[in-house]
Amino acid sequence: MNGQNENLKELFEKFVEGEQAEQAAEDIRKGEQILGGNPAPQPDDELIANIKAEIAVSLYNKKQDTLRRTAYKMMAVAAGFMLLAVISVKLFEKNSIEPERAVNSPAALSAVWDNSADETLTAEIEQIESDLFAMQSSENSSNGSEAVTELEMEMIETNNDFWKG
């Protein structure tokens, strides 16, 4: 205890002068004696039991609220999945009953148009090539050079139309 008193006095001397440091150290020692002689009162066992009961009720209510919130969230997710399943089934039934509607879709019409346009352009190119070949082999002797030039121009025009779509 004497060592603690000296340490306490040295600590106070860093902040105040010698006599004031001694007085402050003495005040601290007296305060410790008073507190040591009068211990703090302990709470009643009944009071402790009431506090524990209130805490238990509060925790139980929080658990119920958490479970309730979790159940509501799960119900919302389940309802979303059920709605998605019903819509998917309805669309599947609708598509299986009306196959002609699938043919009229923009993608199907585009595919049909592309195929017919390709066939038409291919037929035109083959016709021009056969005409050109016939003229070059002198089967058509009248005005051959102008006809070849005309056919070449048609071929160039057809190729340009083909790439324009």
- Same domain for 157 and 122, yes or no, is yes
CA 6/CA 25 separation, integer angstroms: 9
Contacts of 52 (CB under 8 A, 6+ apart): none
Split into its structural domains, the chain has a count of: 3
For position 140, what pLDDT does the model report? 47
| Average pLDDT over the chain, rounded to an integer | 77
Together in a domain, 136 and 92: no
- pLDDT, mean of residues 120-131: 75
Is 84 contained in some domain?
Answer: yes
Averaged pLDDT for residues 8-35: 87
Are 114 and 92 members of one domain?
no
Give pLDDT tens digits for 19-31.
888 888 889 999 9
User: Within a 10 A sphere around the Cβ of 12, how many other Cβ atoms?
Assistant: 19
pLDDT at 115: 60
- State whether 143 and 111 are in the same domain: yes
Share of the chain above pLDDT 90, in %: 11
**Structural domain includes residue 57:** no
Do residue 148 and residue 119 come from a single domain?
yes
Contact 151, 135 (CB under 8 A): yes
Higher-confidence residue of 51 and 141: namely: 51
Residue 16, phi-psi category: left (phi > 0), alpha (psi -120 to 50), beta (remainder): beta
115 and 148 inside one domain? yes
User: Does 160 lie in the same domain as 134?
Assistant: yes
The amino acid at 72: Y
Residue-range definition of the domain harbouring residue 12: 2-37
Please check whether residue 140 lies inside any domain of the structure: yes
Residues whose CB is less than 8 angstroms from the CB of residue 109 and which lie 6 or more positions away in sequence, other chains included: 103
CA distance 164 to 89: 42
Q: What is the mean pLDDT of residues 141-162?
A: 68
CA atoms within 13 A on the CB side of 93: 6
Q: Which two tokens stand for residue 120?
A: 């038409």
- Choose between 54 and 132: higher pLDDT: 54
Q: Residue 9 falls within a domain, yes or no? A: yes
Count of CB atoms within 10 A of residue 25's CB? 20
Does some domain include residue 53? no
What pLDDT is stored for residue 103 in this prediction?
Answer: 52
pLDDT tens track for 60-118: 989 988 888 888 889 888 888 888 888 888 888 777 655 555 555 656 556 555 566 66
